[in-house]
Amino acid sequence: MSHKPSESLRRDIERWLKEFLLNPTEPADQRELARELGGLPLYADMGGLVVLRPDGTVLTYDWEDSKSEATDDVWKVVALTTSREKYPRLRELLPERTVSALDCAACTGTGSILRTATCWKCLGLGWHEPEAVGVAG
């Protein structure tokens, strides 16, 4: 999954990042890391922070190790799906549903469990590709 933002979305991400950095109600540690990493915070939990740079790069920052690195597609999807309510335009960066995709049975296609937690079966998308059965390895 390597969707790059359109030029207009890139500008929006830059604007949202500037607004985030200037907002004193946002957590100070997240504002500091957003400035340092050059990315808009999308997701935070006890393990770390996930930020989106205007060029579409997604980085994770580990609170314990105090280091950042490019994230895998799983965390990228989770960060995008959990922040789509606040930043609806980020849907542009999510994978498109294919014709073979199935509604997620774990969350009944909603993307969340009990309306608050991201579904880890579909990563918040509400769908997933069929699992391969009987593939010899």
Q: What is the pLDDT of residues 81-118, one digit of tens each?
A: 989 889 999 999 998 998 999 999 998 899 888 877 88
* In contact, 70 and 62? CB cutoff 8 Å: no
Give me the helices (H) in the chain, please: 7-22, 28-37, 73-83
Q: How far apart are CA 37 and CA 53, in angstroms?
A: 8
Q: How far apart are CA 126 and CA 121, in angstroms?
A: 9
pTM: predicted TM-score of the whole model, two decimal places: 0.81
Tens of pLDDT along the chain (137 residues) come to: 557 899 999 999 999 999 999 999 999 999 999 999 999 999 888 888 999 999 999 998 888 887 777 777 888 888 999 898 899 999 999 989 989 999 999 988 998 888 778 888 888 899 988 874 444 44
Return the closest-CA partner of residue 6 out of 90, 79, 69, 87: 90
Give me the pLDDT at residue 2, please: 53
Q: How far apart are CA 12 and CA 109, in angstroms?
A: 28
> How many CB atoms within 10 Å of residue 105?
11
